[in-house]
Amino acid sequence: MARRSRSTRVQKGKWAQVVGAFDLVAKTGSITSVQPTTLAFAPLEGGEDRVHVKGFGTGKSALFDLAVNPLRISCGNAGNELMFEEFIPVTARLKTVRLYVDGAEVARYEPGLSAPPRRVSLGPPDPEAPHRLSMRAEVAPTPGVSYTVQVRPEGDERWHTLGAGLEKPDATKIDINQFPGAKRLDIRILQTDGFRSEEIFRETKQY
């Protein structure tokens, strides 16, 4: 299990959370997730200086260059491959994110073309589990584009995330039993290219 360093500072703004892994022995790495956020967490003690995440626009110069924050292993054997988390500033100039190990590029992330699906709707309850609702979506998986399904139960101001980083909006089910006593659920879907999010679906379900 990985955990964040206790010594952190928090900043508000337009950020993206980059999660991936690196191996200093094999000198390899990967970017597994890029998600927009309004909060950034940074370790006060600094990052892994041999592993950097850089952002580029249309030019050759980097917009930012950050040593990644390795996630500490609280149990088990870490092995050579370690996970990392880094928060990057998002601006209109940002086009691509690249991961470097010892100065060599090992992975790259480019946002996909975000286009609203032709149709997204709530499907019928599962016949074998009526407390589970499904989504229907006419959309094909697109590299660099993912979806988040959220629910806000009656009397709650918070949105509860039921699925994030989904390839399709209908890749998860909504379990009504997670919100006991709620007679109404607001359901929404966010589409993200990794840098920005847009709401593409919202519906209220009454019980």
Query: Can you tell me the distance from the alpha carbon of 121 to that of 101, in angstroms, rounded to the nearest whole number?
Result: 43
Please check whether residue 29 lies inside any domain of the structure: yes
Residues 19 and 104 in one domain: yes
Question: Would you state the structure tokens that stand for residue 177, as one six-digit string?
Answer: 């039993």
Query: Can you tell me the distance from the alpha carbon of 76 to that of 79, in angstroms, rounded to the nearest whole number?
Result: 9
Domain C-terminal end among 79, 109, 139 = 109
Coil, strand or helix at 158 = coil
CA torsion 159→161→164→167, rounded to 10°?
Answer: -90
Query: Can you tell me the distance from the alpha carbon of 56 to that of 193, in angstroms, rounded to the nearest whole number?
Result: 16
Please check whether residue 193 lies inside any domain of the structure: yes
Residue 2 contacts residue 49 (beta carbons within 8 Å): no
Residues 70 and 124 in one domain: no
Contacts of 46 (CB under 8 A, 6+ apart): 67
Residues 88 and 16 in one domain: yes
Question: What pLDDT shows up at residue 5?
Answer: 44
Please check whether residue 115 lies inside any domain of the structure: no
Residues 104 and 147 in one domain: no
Question: What pLDDT shows up at residue 8?
Answer: 60
pLDDT averaged per 10 residues in sequence order, the chain, 207 residues = 51 92 96 90 76 95 93 63 92 96 96 77 81 85 90 91 88 87 90 91 89
Question: What pLDDT shows up at residue 57?
Answer: 96
Q: Which CATH number do you get for residue 197? A: 2.60.40.10
Whether the pTM exceeds 0.85: the reply is no
Question: What pLDDT shows up at residue 91?
Answer: 94
Residues 102 and 126 in one domain: no
Question: Would you state the structure tokens that stand for residue 49, as one six-digit string?
Answer: 């200086």
Question: What pLDDT shows up at residue 73?
Answer: 62
Parent domain of 34: 2-109
Question: What pLDDT shows up at residue 4?
Answer: 41
Domain C-terminal end among 87, 109, 131 = 109
Residues 90 and 71 in one domain: yes
Residues 68 and 127 in one domain: no
Please check whether residue 194 lies inside any domain of the structure: yes
Please check whether residue 114 lies inside any domain of the structure: no
Please check whether residue 129 lies inside any domain of the structure: yes
